[in-house]
Structure 1
Amino acid sequence: MSEILQSSERPRRQRSLVAPMLVSVLDEAAQDFLRQRSSLRRFAPDQIIQQRGDKGEGLWWIERGAVTVGRFHPDGEFRRVALLGPGDSYGELAMLSGRPRVVDAISRGESELRFVPARAIEELFAARPETAQVMLGAMALQLQEMLDIIAGIRRGTGLARIAGLLVNLSAGAATTVTTTQQELGELLGLTRATVNLALGELESQGAIRRSYGKVEILAPEELALAALG
């Protein structure tokens, strides 16, 4: 068990909001195994990658670019729930449960993704049974993080919620997060005006710097304190 925890607790790279990490926790040999059995596909800006109701016949693994995950509503509006980047994967739950997809996914700009069929995962588990335990540990950790995120975004001021979201998007590091005010508002259920005011306050405190479509994290510690409300 200690080996499993070490694999799933390795130092994190930057991760997106509620980004699945089931592929990223695997060692290089296991990842190469999946690469050899996957197909690389390219998508244009705003191209639909998957739709709710599609069969979960495999998982998607982002090589380049970014993917917005959410749901199209009956009125045609798209509500975002996650922003995923290189190294992130998604679609594992539908694949493992044998149930249809529950979210839509759109390419955010040009992107390249690998489609890993379910049979490749099955072959990996058969060849290296320990990888199933590693991925199970990652799923448990991800569920804990998801519950923490849900608890956090449902309470506190708009400022605290925006700060908490940015902490998650940046994995608590000094880095640049590619996101718009509109996307931040949709992820948290806040108006764009509220997001703008919160970002302005965080910028005046020296925690961030805004630019078009990006938020630069300057002081992760200050941002984490602001998230506490």
Structure 2
Amino acid sequence: MSRIVQLTATRRSLVTPMLFSALDSGLQAHLIRISRAREFADGQIIQQRGDKADGFWLIEHGAVRVGQFLPDGEFRAVALLGPGDSYGELAVFSGKPRIVDALSRGESRLRLIAAKPFLDALGNYPASSRALLGALSEQLQDTLSILAGLRRGTNPERLAGLLATMAGEAPGPAGVTITQQELADLLGVTRATANAALRELQQRRLVERGYGTIRIPDRDALAAHAMG
């Protein structure tokens, strides 16, 4: 029986740890308690590049596409995030305007963790400060690794690496819920190019395509193909 991989804290397009998850559980509970929940419709803008970083977002329900709007109005996603994920913390720490746009993928519910209460409370949790440094270091290392992987190999190999990452490391078949346009955005190619790469992986029997879902019979074989 295959696992259907939704966009959750451990099954998303990015495998780096979210900073909120590194915080002490008591601090997490406190921040959630004083935060404000907001609901968004499918495609609704959650934040825009250039906005003041007045806090960061914690996803409670649904999924979020993070990326940037291009000059022609097209949205180019760079990450897909799901329940339990957080984003926007780096803008809070830097005190600079946001550099990414974010759109709701389907209906979603998020909490805005205000910047000042977060930074004030963090001072009372020194262990969380150290944990954040560790999570930031891992994020940077993983981001550099992902960038290096996306710059080498053929498009099918790059796609294989992306899908293997999203499938996680658990043994057995898995499924990734994602559209072809989202795959194209994450790879930085056209939808036609992503579809051709996906078709090649299917011909090699490394993936099976369904409606909005890509089934992966053998994650290790897919990861091996990504290495070229």
Give the TM-score normalised by structure 1.
0.88
The reply to whether residue 219 of structure 1 matches residue 218 of structure 2 is yes
The structure-2 alpha-carbon separation of the partners of 1:30 and 1:190, relative to structure 1 and needing over 3 Å to count, comes to: same
The reply to whether residue 59 of structure 1 matches residue 63 of structure 2 is no
Instruction: Write the distance in 2 (CA, Å) between the matches of 1:28 and 1:211.
Output: 39
Q: Percent identity?
A: 54
* Match of residue 197 from structure 1: 196
What SS is found at the alignment partner of 1:127?
Answer: coil
Instruction: Write the distance in 1 (CA, Å) between the matches of 2:28 and 2:144.
Output: 28
The reply to whether residue 79 of structure 1 matches residue 79 of structure 2 is no
The structure-2 alpha-carbon separation of the partners of 1:30 and 1:167, relative to structure 1 and needing over 3 Å to count, comes to: farther
* Match of residue 3 from structure 1: none
* Match of residue 6 from structure 1: none
The reply to whether residue 91 of structure 1 matches residue 88 of structure 2 is yes
Deviation at 1:140, TM superposition (A): 0.4
* Match of residue 184 from structure 2: 185
* Match of residue 7 from structure 1: none
What SS is found at the alignment partner of 2:103?
Answer: strand
- Correspondence for 1:136 among 130, 133, 140: 133
The question of whether the paired residues in 1 share the 8 Å contact of 2:179 and 2:213 is answered with yes
- Correspondence for 2:116 among 107, 115, 119: 119
* Match of residue 3 from structure 2: none
The reply to whether residue 149 of structure 1 matches residue 184 of structure 2 is no
The question of whether the paired residues in 2 share the 8 Å contact of 1:124 and 1:131 is answered with no
Instruction: Write the distance in 2 (CA, Å) between the matches of 1:62 and 1:19.
Output: 16
Instruction: Write the distance in 2 (CA, Å) between the matches of 1:178 and 1:186.
Output: 15
The reply to whether residue 42 of structure 1 matches residue 16 of structure 2 is no
* Match of residue 227 from structure 2: 228
- Correspondence for 2:155 among 148, 153, 158: 158
Instruction: For 1:57, give the aligned amino acid.
Output: D
* Structure 1 residue ranges without an equivalent (≥5): 1-11
Deviation at 1:216, TM superposition (A): 2.4
What SS is found at the alignment partner of 2:96?
Answer: coil
Deviation at 1:19, TM superposition (A): 5.7
Deviation at 1:206, TM superposition (A): 3.6
RMSD (Å), alpha carbons: 1.8
Instruction: For 1:125, give the aligned amino acid.
Output: L
Count how many residue pairs are aligned between Structure 1 and Structure 2: 218
Instruction: Write the distance in 2 (CA, Å) between the matches of 1:147 and 1:153.
Output: 10
Instruction: Write the distance in 2 (CA, Å) between the matches of 1:204 and 1:25.
Output: 41
What SS is found at the alignment partner of 1:16?
Answer: coil
Deviation at 1:137, TM superposition (A): 0.4
